[in-house]
Amino acid sequence: MGTETDTSVPRASYSRVRTGCLTCRRRRKKCDERRPRCVGCERNHLLCSWPYSTLNSSQDSQLEQVQNEAKSSSLVPAKRLSTTPAVFRGHEGLVDFFKHMTAPRLIARRQIENPFITYNLRIAASCETLQHALIAVASCHRAYLEPGFSVVARSHYAVTIRSMKHAITSWSSCSFTDRLSILAAAFALCWYEIIDANLEGSLYHHLGACSAMLRDVEQDSRNTEPQLLGFFAEQYSYLAIAANVCFGLSTVATKRRPRLPQPVQNLNLGSPIHGFLFGYAHELHDAIPQIRNLADRVALEGNSAHVQAEYDKIYSTITSWEPRTAEGDPAYEQVGHMYQAACLVYLRTATHAQSEQPTEILFSQVEPFVKIFLDNFKSLSYESPAWNMFMWPTYVVGSCIRDPAQREVLSQILGHSTMQMSAVDTTLHCLSLHWKELDKDLAAYGPYGLERTMRLHKLDPCVG
């Protein structure tokens, strides 16, 4: 009997590649090793982290801050494991930046409790999604002066979006506490878009989601957090009102214009956070959506007797408003007069039909208020709370400035801002484009013309 020959083919020996990013290794996925963010992590909106020993010293130093974050990127809120929440560990500097720099820039009154700190951090203690969102907001703000932080901002923003997509699938069955956490993260994303100076209207996608979720939370029979609901309601009301900058129906923002809030005069009244966004100008903010609706009526029925009666009512409300403060700071009076002037500009231009050229009568009605606005703005301290709510009145008044000297005044004010947010630069950029269009054609005058400029340049600024 002959000897059998072993014809079996030996199995190839493969060794696991250990040069990919840590995230792909944990997911057992092939990594293309693109730095600083591989294709797989970018496609799946994950934090791309690398072992410290493999980082090239020339790479952005901010990668060191995110190299261990995939461990804490769970898509569900985590239980509190230690004094410092999971995502905040290693980012204590950004948490402090949020507390001392970002959050104070978001409120219109200084001598009150800041709910962006107290309420958000309380929720974030047990919600990793909100932890990621707040780190994204803080690092986006810090990136204005230190661009390297944009890497951290985008990474945490992506994780927040991914987490929100997962969490929203269980919205109908989740606990009331989880609903509050999801809603808080959604509002944090709104502020991210404003700080990031997004020009594609991303804010309004988030705000639309906030609107639907807020309505559900308000109607939830398990509601035991009236103060938190007040925090969310004021954020929604303020952002929905500030979205009414242009007149017209063509920009992305106006096509999905947020539902208008109920009157805000009594919102959070008696609460330690009363007026944290509206300051002392609740009545003026209430007039803004009324004026926007008036412009819609003018477009449909012209300057009818009913329109004139509504105009007179709104005009009386605005002109009879007086600043009432309990803090003894004259800056609040200046802020009030600025908003009052901007509301009157908005009202005067609302009755001007979009199809008509502006007239000298309209100019004479509007330009005194432009002067009042600029006179108050240029004498205002750069540390004033007015800077926390400057975008809406600046867009409205700026859309009507024809005088090159007045444009230079506004440009200088914005150019010397200590706000340290891209939103200031973006506002000036959009107005500069608008002024060029206005110089070409007076039909570009005012909020109607601003609408045309935004459409022409495909801009949809996130106003807040």
For the segment 360-380, the average pLDDT, to the nearest whole number, is 95
The SS3 of residue 131 is helix
**Is the confidence at residue 77, as pLDDT, over 70?**
no
Q: Where are the domains of the chain?
A: 20-53+64-73
Report whether 388 contacts 105 (CB < 8 A): yes
**Is the confidence at residue 58, as pLDDT, over 80?**
no
Q: At what angle do helices 360-378 and 404-415 cross, to 10 degrees?
A: 30
For the segment 5-33, the average pLDDT, to the nearest whole number, is 64
pLDDT-based confidence at residue 45 (cuts at 50, 70, 90): low
Per-residue pLDDT tens over the stretch 219-264:
999 988 888 999 999 999 999 999 999 887 544 444 455 776 778 9
pLDDT score recorded for residue 64? 38
pLDDT score recorded for residue 22? 75
pLDDT score recorded for residue 257? 59
pLDDT score recorded for residue 330? 79
* Burial (Cβ within 10 Å: 0-12, 13-18, ≥19) of residue 92: exposed
Per-residue pLDDT tens over the stretch 315-362:
999 999 988 776 667 788 888 999 999 999 999 999 887 767 899 999
Query: 460: which DSSP letter?
Result: B
pLDDT score recorded for residue 109? 87
Query: 242: which DSSP letter?
Result: H
Which residues, including other chains, have CB under 8 Å from residue 144's CB and lie 6 or more apart? 420, 421, 422
pLDDT-based confidence at residue 19 (cuts at 50, 70, 90): confident
Return d(Cα 422, Cα 88) in angstroms, integer.
25
Distance from the first to the final alpha carbon of the chain: 92
For the segment 40-48, the average pLDDT, to the nearest whole number, is 70
pLDDT score recorded for residue 347? 97
pLDDT-based confidence at residue 18 (cuts at 50, 70, 90): low
The DSSP annotation for 178-229 comes to: HHHHHHHHHHHHHHHHHHTT-SB-HHHHHHHHHHHHHHHHHH-TT---HHHH
Structure tokens at 394: 């600046």
Per-residue pLDDT tens over the stretch 140-179:
999 999 999 999 999 999 999 999 999 999 999 999 999 9
**Is the confidence at residue 12, as pLDDT, over 70?**
no
pTM comes to: 0.81
